Amino acid sequence: MERVLTDFVKTLRNVNIRVSPAETLDATEVIEKVGYDNRELLKNTLSLTLSKTPDEKEKFDTCFDDFFREKLSSDEIPLKEVPDLPTDQTANSDLAQHLLSDSYSDMELSISKAGEEAEIREIKYFTQRAVFSRRILDIMGVGKLEEELSLLGQANKDGLPSDLEQKLRNELTHLRERVSDYVQKQFLMHGDVTGEQLREQVFKSMNMGQIDRSYLHEVHSLVRRMAKKLANMHSRRKKNFRRGKLDIRKTIQDNWVNQGILFNLRWSYKKVDRPKILVICDVSGSVGAYARFMLMFLFSLTEVVSKIRAFVFSSHLGEVTDEFKGGNLEDSIESALSKYGGGSTDYAHAFSDFVSLCIDEIDKKTTVVILGDARNNFGPEKAELLKSVYERSKQVYWLNPEGKYRWNTGDSVMNTYSAYCTKVFECGTLEQLERVISTLLKTAI
C-alpha cells in the first residue's frame, strides 16, 4: 500500500501538484480507512486531501485515472489468447505471434506487464530511458525474435526478405517505438523531471499522440514558446525584405562627391508576395492528437503569416478558421476536434470537399499543408483531386505522424498521394514539427 501511494504522490508532484509530507501521511490514513476497492470513493477522498486549487484538482483527476488505470491493467487484466501462426511459417515465438495478431490493446498490455517486471517505477534519471527500454524489450522476448529473423533471412536464397520477415521487422520497429513512448510516459510520472529545461526536452522528444491530457496545458505553453521563437526569427526576415538590403555599389557611387562619407544610403528592394497557407488536418482517431499541436503551432504564427486558413476532417471536411479568430486557442481546437473528429477516415471525400471550397483561390502564392497518416480504410483514393491542387499551388507539404516504415502498409496509400506533394515529412514529435514549420516558413514567406 505504501509503495503505491508513494508512486502516486511522485506522479502528482511531477505535474506540479504540491504535496507535503504531512499531506502524504493524511493520504495514508485515508487509504487505511477506505481501501482500494471503491476507486471512485478513493479518488474523491484523496482529492480532498492532496489537491487544493481548481487547477490542481483538474490535474489530480487526470493523474488518478491514468495512474490507477495502468495499475489495474498491469496487475489484474489477463492477456487474451493469441492465434497460432500457420504451420508453414517459422517464426513461432510468443512475441512474434503477438506482433502478427495485430492487436494494439494486447500489445499495450504486454508492454505494461513487462514494465512492471522491469521495475519501471524505479526510473529516476533522464539517461536511464534507454536502459529501461532495453530491459522491457528483453523481457518481452525481442532477443529470441531477432534470432528467428536472422534465421528467416538466411533461409531466403535470393537475399530478399520474405513477406513474413518484412512484416515482423516492421512490427518490431513499431514495438520499439511504443516501448520508448511508454518509458517516456513512465519517466514523466516517476522520474526526477522538476527542471523546466528537462521537462521541455522530454515533451519535445515524445510522440505527440502519447502525450497525456494531464500535461496538455504545460505542453501548449511550450508550443507557444516554440512558435514565438520561430515567429521572431522569421519576422526579422520579413522586415528586412520590406526595408530592402543596402546596395553597396550604388551607395558608394552616390557618395563619391562626399569624399567617401556615406550621407545617402541606397537600398535595393525585392517585391515580396503575400503568402497564403491552407492547412488540412485529419482529426480522426489518434491522428487528432497530432492535429491539435499542428493547429496551435500555426495559429500562433499569425504575426508572420496572416493569411492562414484551416480545414479539418475525418470524413466530411469543414473550415475552422473563423473559430480561431478572437477566441481562446485551446477551446477552439477542442471544439474543432469534437465537431469533425467522429467519423471514419475518408480522404477522397475530404479532398473533394476541399477542391469544391478552395480550388479557385489556390495560386502560385499558396502553400497547402496536409497532416494525416494517409490511411483511407481501403476506400477510393481520388488522387487526381490532390493532383489538381498540386498543379495550381506553389507547393504541397504532407506531414505524416507515422514512422516511414509504416507508410504503404495495410490501408496506407502514402505512395499514391506523395506523387503530388512537393515534400513529405515524418512528423510525430514536437521537435520534428518545429523543424517542418521552420522549413515551411522559409519557403512560404
Residue ranges covered by each domain of the chain:
2-75, 94-194, 220-246+273-444
Distance CA(291)–CA(320), nearest Å, equals: 13
Query: For the segment 285-328, what is each residue's pLDDT rounded down to a tens digit?
Result: 868 889 888 888 888 887 667 788 999 999 889 998 888 776 67
Question: What kind of architecture, by CATH, is found in domain 220-246+273-444?
Answer: 3-Layer(aba) Sandwich (3.40)
Q: How far apart are CA 319 and CA 309, in angstroms?
A: 8
- Cβ(185)–Cβ(209) under 8 Å? no
- Three-state secondary structure readout of 169-202: HHHHHHHHHHHHHHHHHHHHHHCCCCCHHHHHHH
Q: Determine which helix (DSSP H) or strand (DSSP E) holds 369, and give its type and residue range.
A: strand 366-371
Distance, CA of 101 to CA of 167 (rounded, Å): 11
pLDDT for 81: 41
d(CA 271, CA 209): 41
For residues 43 and 63, what is the distance between their CA atoms, to the nearest angstrom?
A: 10
Nearest by Cα to 140 from 180, 164, 169, 175 = 175
- Give CA separation, 70 vs 56, 65, 123, in Å: 21, 8, 16
246-270 per-position pLDDT tens digit: 777 777 777 766 766 666 777 766 5
Q: Are 91 and 148 in contact (CB under 8 A)?
A: yes
pLDDT at 82: 38
| Ranges in the chain, pLDDT < 70 | 1-2, 69-92, 102, 104, 157-160, 193-196, 234-245, 256-257, 259-263, 268-275, 286, 303-304, 326-327, 445
How confident is the model at residue 297, as a pLDDT? 87
Q: What share of the chain is helix, strand, coil (3-state, %, to 5)?
A: 60, 10, 30
Q: Do 207 and 287 contact (CB within 8 A), yes or no?
A: no
114 touches 136 (CB < 8 A): yes
The Cα–Cα gap between 358 and 361 comes to 5
Predicted confidence at residue 252, as pLDDT, reads: 73
Q: Buried b / exposed e across 387-426, counting CB within 10 Å, b at 16+?
A: eebbebbbbbbbbbbbeebbbeeeebbbebbbebbeebbb
Q: How many CB atoms lie within 10 A of CB 93?
A: 19
Task: Give residue 132's pLDDT.
Answer: 93
Dist. CA 366–CA 354, nearest whole Å: 14
In three-state secondary structure terms, 134 is helix
User: What local confidence, expressed as pLDDT, does residue 109 receive?
Assistant: 86
* Residue 182, C-beta contacts closer than 8 angstroms, at least 6 positions apart: 111, 112, 115, 136
- Find, among 161, 155, 141, the residue nearest to 92 by Cα: 141
Q: Looking at residue 243, what is its pLDDT?
A: 55
Distance CA(155)–CA(168), nearest Å, equals 15
**Strand arrangement, sheet containing 308-313:** 317-319, 308-313, 276-282, 366-371, 395-400, 423-426
pLDDT at 387: 96
pLDDT at position 337 is: 83
pLDDT value, residue 274:
58
CA 386 vs. chain centroid, Å, equals 24
- Please tell me the pTM assigned to this model: 0.69
